[in-house]
Amino acid sequence: MLTNRVKIAVLVSGGGTNLQALLDAQRAGTLHSGTISLVVSSSPTAYALTRVAEAGVPALTVSRRDSGGQAAFEAQLTAALEEYGIELIILAGFMSILSRDFTDRYPERILNVHPSLIPAFCGKGFYGLRVHASALARGVKVTGATVHFVNEIPDGGRILLQKAVDVLPDDTPETLQRRVMEQAEWILLPQAAELVSANILQKETETT
Ligand code: GAR
């Protein structure tokens, strides 16, 4: 039985349903190699903050606008991550772009969930409902979700997990988003969090 757990920070901007999936996995014990130690929101009004308050996890807001630019925003974010001893960062609907300066500091230590099968419908400008609207406009019959490591290229890091989801004839961006969340994102993200946390613990054991 492992007593040591990888300290995870979850970065959010909106509803926080993926954060909820991670909190639920932790409660259920399927996420056990890592522990959610901090939640950072880019918006003070994100509903994700209500979810995290209910779970009793420390949370704070760091916004690029209030910080006064990208460098100051990332400095504030880094200070918070260091203060909490964070070893793994999970972007769960986090809508602020992170610079190369930031991503280079955490190689293969930042995960992101994206609501399509990368390389389709990804990169700059593809986020949230826009991804699903684009998939419907293109007429694809299958879409899905991807969990990948984050590097300096938007949605360009190494792919870890993917799951396909059917597009149905009467789908709207909203119905498709919900199905992709239920059938893919909320399953893949906790799986990836456990997988990567277990790998980090394993490497720590090998080097001690
Ligand atoms: C999710 O569908 C997530 O995949 C997407 O935003 C939504 C956030 O929902 N992320 C992106 O589009 C990033 N490119 P949530 O706040 O309820 O987890």
Q: How many residues does the chain have?
A: 208
Is 85:7 a contact under the CB 8 Å cutoff?
A: yes
Report the pLDDT value the prediction gives residue 208, as an integer from 0 to 100: 78
Is 18:191 a contact under the CB 8 Å cutoff?
A: no
**CA 97, chain centre distance (Å):** 13
Q: In the structure, which protein residues have their CB atom closer than 6 angstroms to any atom of ligand 1?
A: 12, 14-18, 48, 92-93, 113-115, 127-128, 131, 181, 185
pLDDT (tens, 9 = 90+) of the chain, 208 residues, equals 446 999 999 999 999 999 999 999 999 999 999 999 999 999 999 999 999 998 999 999 999 888 899 999 999 999 999 999 999 999 999 999 899 999 999 999 999 999 999 999 999 999 999 999 999 999 999 999 999 999 999 999 999 999 999 999 999 999 999 999 999 999 999 999 999 999 999 999 998 7
Helix (H) / strand (E) element for 177: namely helix 173-180
Q: In DSSP terms, which residues pair with 10 in a beta bridge?
A: 39, 90
d(CA 124, CA 155): 8
Q: Is 114 a catalytic residue?
A: yes
Of 18, 117, 176, the one to substitute when testing ligand 1's pocket (max ligand atoms within 8 A of C-beta) is 18
Q: CA–CA distance from 36 to each of 54, 88, 195 (Å)?
A: 14, 9, 14
Beta-carbon count within 10 A of 90 CB:
27
d(CA 79, CA 69): 16
**Quick one: tokens of 68?**
């006064």
d(CA 172, CA 137): 10
Q: Considering only CA atoms, which residue is closest to atom 12 of ligand 1?
A: 127
**Quick one: tokens of 150?**
């984050």
Beta-carbon count within 10 A of 63 CB:
14
d(CA 112, CA 123): 12
DSSP character for 49?
H
Q: Considering only CA atoms, which residue is closest to atom 7 of ligand 1?
A: 93
Report the pLDDT value the prediction gives residue 66, as an integer from 0 to 100: 87
Atom of ligand 1 nearest to the CA of 16: 16
